[in-house]
Structure 1
Amino acid sequence: MQNNLGILLFSVSIPLLLGGCFGQESKIETQSSQISVQDYTGEGYALPYGRVTDEIAEKNLDGIRDATIKFFKEKYKTDVTVHNVVGAKDGATVFVESKGEPHFYTYAVVPIDELAKKVWTEKIWADEFQVENAIKGGLYSMIFKEEFKQLDNYFDSLAAEGQITGRTVESIQNVGGHGFSTPYYFISLADETAIQPVYDLFMKSPDESTDNLRKAFKDNAFSAEALFINIQLFMADPNAKPDKKLYDRIIKNLEEMNSIPRGSYSFVLNDHFIDKQSSSGMGDHSLDLVNDIIKE
């Protein structure tokens, strides 16, 4: 289905590192692992084969944090905050958030030798595609700030009605890694031709003005079908299943709005709960848009 393409493209290399993230979600969930989306901060999230490495990482948090901050500053010209470190097979996944703009979330990996109980901070690495995609999504939101403000205002107004809610900011920080993200959606890109000159300018001059970054954007190379705005909303009522009338109304609103960012919009409406271990909100009752809404 087209609406899953953005998620799949963005998560193509995530499964081994971030098993269970959005886009790798299983609809088979147990009641014991469920928690209110409004209470979920990432606590209980786990990666495969990470119990031992998680314990080793916990004892070396300061070194991991320092190495990660240095890595992103030197390689990607970006100051980051380290929010969470989660053990995984042969290493630890470090979830970070950029400081200021462009704003994005991503992750790095620190190798760990379980037998020697050694943390190889000097060998820290990150998937270049994931990080660059995250930065480019942040740059896109930065140079089209007014359009994203309109989109954010719409979701805030929906939440104010009391029917829907989004993820907590803490959960995005602690188990995020999805580029430019808000409680209601995240961005991913399949074709980076239009944004690449913006990225190149930013890497050359991180303090470049937003106006100059916007001028570097190649409008004639932009494809709305290749920039994905992946929306995931939750019912605010713990006892409510996803409401089809509300779901249809939101789709209609998105189709009629002309001032929101250009892109390909996918949309999922879940019930009120999220799986603690996988950070997944998808379930048997989730309503999932079959064809993306394309905003040219």
Structure 2
Amino acid sequence: MGQSDEKEKKADDGTTPVAEYKGQGFIFVDGDKSKEIVEKNAAEIKKRAIAYMKDTYKTNVKVNNVVPARDAAVVMVEAEEPIEFHTSVIVGLDMQKKELDPSPNVWSQDGVVEGAIVSGLYAKAYKEEFIQLDSFTANEAKKYDLEGYNQKSIDKTQAGGYEQRFYYISVSSLEFPTVYKAYLQNNNLSNDSELLRSLFLKDNPDFSNVSISCRYFFKSKGLPKQEEVDKMREDLNLSKGLPKGLYSIDVYKNFIVNRVGLPNGDSTRAQELQK
């Protein structure tokens, strides 16, 4: 297949190599029905999302993307201080009148923002360990010729909490209720890493319910062999000083499905590892 044929194929199947993907074509189901309303009211939608995060979760955020959905706009937001995470907020539309709901009708999916906050607090509490994880995952990518999401695609399409190029954290606030409640009462506690760590250890000292998903893309054609990914698991097993949690490793084909911002197809996966 020639280069022009390959480009044509990518356009046809709506995929983009991960290194080139920056959120193009990203849209939610039936978003074409609300696209015009969302574009027309983008400024007010952003304002409502920012206010909701401040009022409900005591957190300042910036808006990275406003995405049309069936009868709403999904706003991709990012917190940078005092903790770092990505999440999403939903702003309701009146589809009969083809306008924004008159009163701010704003919400989030159950547990999504709460979990994102706890993931950001975990990364802040164990900053040195996460610096080590950043270094480890980057070295693994280089060693095995792998790629990861770029920052623009994370900002525009991802809402999973604390996310970096090669990994993200999944955690429920229900597993760390003391941590979450303490943050809502006083955001500044995130600056006291010793106190924060003590709260995490009080709630769940082995961090067995924290999932740290290592997510890579194979630069070569297709998927890597299972033994290659098993070697990566062994590297992880031998590595010291990383954050505690249940680790998974997935290596996907080198394509993102534009409209959903997710990998195209299956992955080669290693057995999970508790650290």
TM more than 0.5: yes
1:187 matches 2:163? no
In 2, Cα distance between equivalents of 1:157 and 1:252: 14
The 2-side partners of 1:277 and 1:45 are apart by 4
**Alignment equivalent of 2:71, drawn from 90, 94, 112:** 90
Amino acid across the alignment from 2:128: E
Greater relative CO, 1 or 2 (CA 8 Å, sep 6+)? 1
Q: CA deviation at 1:292?
A: 1.4
Q: What is the CA–CA distance in structure 2 between the aligned matches of 1:105 and 1:133, rounded to whole Å?
A: 11
Give how far 1:127 is off: 2.4
Q: Is residue 273 of structure 2 the alignment partner of residue 293 of structure 1?
A: yes
What's the C-alpha RMSD, in Å, of the aligned pairs? 2.1
- How far apart are the structure 1 equivalents of 2:11 and 2:204? 45
* 3-state secondary structure, aligned to 2:34: helix
The residue aligned with 2:187 is 206
CA deviations over 1:200-254 (Å, ceiling 9, x no partner) = 22211112223332232234733433110112101234x3532444312211111
**Mean CA deviation greater in 52-61 or 207-216:** 207-216
Does residue 37 (structure 1) correspond to residue 18 (structure 2)? The answer is: yes
Within-5 A mapping of 1:130-149: 130-149=112-131
The structure in which a higher percent of residues are helix is 2
| Structure 1 residue matching 2:29: 3-state secondary structure | coil
Unmatched runs of 5 consecutive residues or more in structure 2? 1-9
Per mean C-alpha deviation after superposition, the further-off stretch among 274-283 and 171-180 is: 274-283
Equivalent residues of 1:165, 1:233 under 8 A apart: yes
Q: Quick check: 67-76 or 201-210, which moved more?
A: 201-210
Contact 1:198–1:214 at 8 Å: present in 2 too?
A: no
Q: Deviation per CA, 1:71-101: give whole Å up to 9, x if none.
A: 1111111110111111112111111000223
Cα distance in 2 between the residues matched to 1:202 and 1:226: 19
**Corresponding residue pairs, total:** 263
1:202–1:213 contact (8 Å) kept in structure 2 = no
Q: Is the 8 A contact 2:229 2:251 kept in 1?
A: yes
TM-score, normalization by structure 1: 0.82
Question: Counterpart amino acid of 2:159?
Answer: G
Is 1:74 the equivalent of 2:72?
Answer: no
Percent identity of paired positions between Structure 1 and Structure 2 = 29
Task: Specify the code of the residue in structure 2 equivalent to 1:61.
Answer: A
Task: Tell me, in whole angstroms, the C-alpha distance in 2 between the residues paired with 1:109 and 1:190.
Answer: 20
Q: 2: distance between equivalents of 1:131 and 1:199?
A: 11
User: Are residues 1:224 and 2:221 paired?
Assistant: no
Normalised to the residue count of structure 2, the TM-score between the two structures is: 0.88
Query: Secondary structure of the equivalent of 2:208?
Result: helix
Q: CA-to-partner distance for each residue in 1:237-286, whole Å, 9 max, x for gaps?
A: 4x3532444312211111122311111011110121111112221424x2
Tell me which of 98, 104, 115 is aligned to 2:85.
104
Unmatched segments (≥5 aa) in structure 1? 1-28
Residue pair 2:177, 2:203 contacting (<8 A) in 1 also: no
> Which of these residues, 141, 145, 151, is aligned with residue 163 of structure 1?
145
Give the drift of 1:30: 9.2
Match for residue 19 of structure 1? none
CA 1:255–1:30 in 2, change beyond 3 Å: closer, same or farther? farther
1:150 to 132, 144, 147: 132
